Amino acid sequence: MNVYFDNAATTPIDPEVIEAMVPVLKNNYGNPSSVHSDGRVARVLIEKSRKQIASHFNISPSEIYFTSGGTEADNMILRCAVKELGVTHIITSPLEHHAVLHTAENLEALENIRLSLVKVDEKGHVDLNHLEELLQTEDKTLVSLMHANNEIATVLPLKEVGDLCKANGAYFHSDTVQTIGHYALDFSELNIDFANCSAHKFHGPKGIGFLYISKEVKIKPMITGGGQERNMRAGTENIYGIVGLTTALDIAYQHVEEHQNHIQSIKSEMISRLKESFTDIHFNGDSESTDSLYTVLNVCFPNSEMDEMLLFNLDIEGVSCSSGSACSSGSNVGSHVLVALNSDMSRPSIRFSFGRFNTMEDVDRCMEAVLKIFKK
Ligand SMILES: Cc1ncc(COP(=O)(O)O)c(C=O)c1O
């Protein structure tokens, strides 16, 4: 079996999650909108799940809307903020996931929205003074800044940014796709209007996630059709996905500290082993710091004749990892995040991302592969 160090792209589904989903797949085929008992049973599963999810974030179940995942939720937030809330100015950063960046660019082109990119430092930290400057405007503004960067692990101070947005009358969205299930979050304590979640990032199934919309904010749906999700997101609900998401989240939060310690120890071991083996190595963004997203390490390797082929050679040696975000890593274009940070693009960078199913033996095997490729 390969060493799987690509957990920021997606995680293996937890067998306990599968166990929770299978009976639903087999038995709960009723449409939750149907009034008969089969439908009602399915409806109960969904509403129980919503309540359980809300309890993890100290919010009301009515603030949770199920979606197909992180991308749909990012789209819904940005597009509905423009259409429904009269937002004419979006502030984001050049380091966002394409689900936010491309949507914002699309709104700039098609809806004439003013798009501002906040400055970031060399580690990817948002310049809060510049953000405050950008917020000095009469335009109705949405700020969309991710909680933790999926490529370089830099973490945003959510509370500070939320307070800044509130003080300046702006809506605040944080893409929390990489942090939900990995950090305890109390949305009731943060001035945050929108956040989003994707189950496959924490050992849940693909194709299911949710959107948090603060009850202070009222928007209309992006996808129209039936009246599902309290008229906010049409389409028959993905019941087994919702049950899988809820189970994955429960497991994640029952053991959140234990998982964090385990994953951080794997990341720290990788850092010290890499530093022992290479003098000319550094870590992109903030990923070396213990304050960064503990699942992600972005390594800038020295040049060698193997440069171009590093990712492929790691694959051949049985290590699955990534050169950036999974959405673009197959397409041989430099990571927009590393380009925005002015990273040395002549050197090969690899993102290793860890999960709770990884072991120290995986680190040994990965390092063996790295040293073999670099002929060390
Ligand atoms: C920060 C971030 N936002 C959004 C997404 C998209 O989520 P999904 O795969 O559920 O559409 C990802 C997935 O890579 C992500 O890392």
77 lines ligand 1 (CB under 6 A): no
pLDDT band at 131 (very low <50, low <70, confident <90, very high): very high
Q: What is the pLDDT of residue 329?
A: 46
**Beta carbon of 69 within 6 Å of any ligand 1 atom:** yes
Question: Of 66-80, 155-169, 225-239, 256-270, where does mean pLDDT reach its minimum?
Answer: 225-239
Does the CB atom of residue 177 touch ligand 1 within 6 A?
A: yes
Residue-level pLDDT at 332: 42
- Give pLDDT tens digits for 198-230: 999 999 999 999 999 999 999 888 888 999 998
Token reading at 271? 């850092």
Atom 13 (ligand 1): residue with closest C-alpha? 9
Mean pLDDT score, 228-257:
96
* Residue from 178, 182, 194, 293 to probe ligand 1 pocket by mutation (most atoms less than 8 Å from CB): 178
Higher pLDDT, 33 or 326: 33
Spatial CA neighbour of 79 closest among 58, 95, 100: 100
Q: Who wins on pLDDT, 333 or 188?
A: 188
What would the mean pLDDT of 350-366 be, rounded to a whole number? 98
User: CA 119 to CA 55: how far, in whole Å?
Assistant: 35
Pocket test residue of 11, 174, 198, 245 for ligand 1, highest count of atoms within 8 A of CB: 198
Answer whether 0.75 is exceeded by the pTM.
yes
Instruction: Please report which helix (H) or strand (E) contains residue 367, including its range.
Output: helix 360-373
> What is the distance between the alpha carbons of residues 248 and 11, in angstroms, rounded to a whole number?
11
DSSP assignment of 252-305: HHHTHHHHHHHHHHHHHHHHHHHHHH-SS-EESTTTTSTTS-TTEEEEEPPP-T
Question: Which residue in 165, 197, 300, 327 is the catalytic one?
Answer: 327
**3: phi > 0 → left, psi -120 to 50 → alpha, else beta; which?**
beta
Does position 326 have pLDDT exceeding 60, yes or no?
no
Is residue 151 in contact with ligand 1, taking CB distance under 6 Å?
Answer: no
Is the pLDDT score of 173 beyond 60?
yes
Average pLDDT (67-77) is 98
- Average pLDDT value for residue range 328-342: 75
Report the share of the chain in percent with pLDDT over 70: 97
The span from the CA of 219 to the CA of 224, in Å, is: 13
Beta-carbon contacts of residue 14 (< 8 Å; ≥ 6 apart): 203, 204, 247, 248, 251
What angle is formed at CA 139 by the lines to CA 98 and CA 125, rounded to 5 degrees? Answer: 45
In the prediction, which pLDDT does 331 show? 45
Task: Please give the Cα distance from 89 to 190 (Å, whole number).
Answer: 22
pLDDT value, residue 309? 87
Dist. CA 21 → ligand 1 center (Å): 22
CA distance 269 to 284: 17
With a cut of 90, say whether residue 324 has pLDDT above it.
no
pLDDT above 90 covers a percentage of the chain that reads 90
**Mean pLDDT throughout 95-110?**
98
Local confidence band at 307 (pLDDT 50, 70, 90 cut-offs): low
pLDDT, one tens digit per residue, over 10-64 is: 999 999 999 999 999 999 999 999 999 999 999 999 999 999 999 999 999 999 9
User: Would you say residue 330 has pLDDT above 50?
Assistant: no
232: CA distance to ligand 1 center in Å?
21
Helix (H, G, I), strand (E, B) or coil at 332: coil
Give the residue from 139, 141, 30, 31 showing the smallest Cα distance to 92: 141
Tell me, rounded to whole angstroms, the distance of Cα 152 from its chain centroid: 12
Asked whether 70 lines ligand 1 (CB < 6 A), one says yes
pLDDT at 189: 96
Identify whether 300 is a catalytic site residue. no
Task: Measure 145 CA to ligand 1 centroid, in angstroms.
Answer: 13
Tell which wins on pLDDT, 332 or 209.
209
The H or E element that residue 65 is part of is strand 64-67
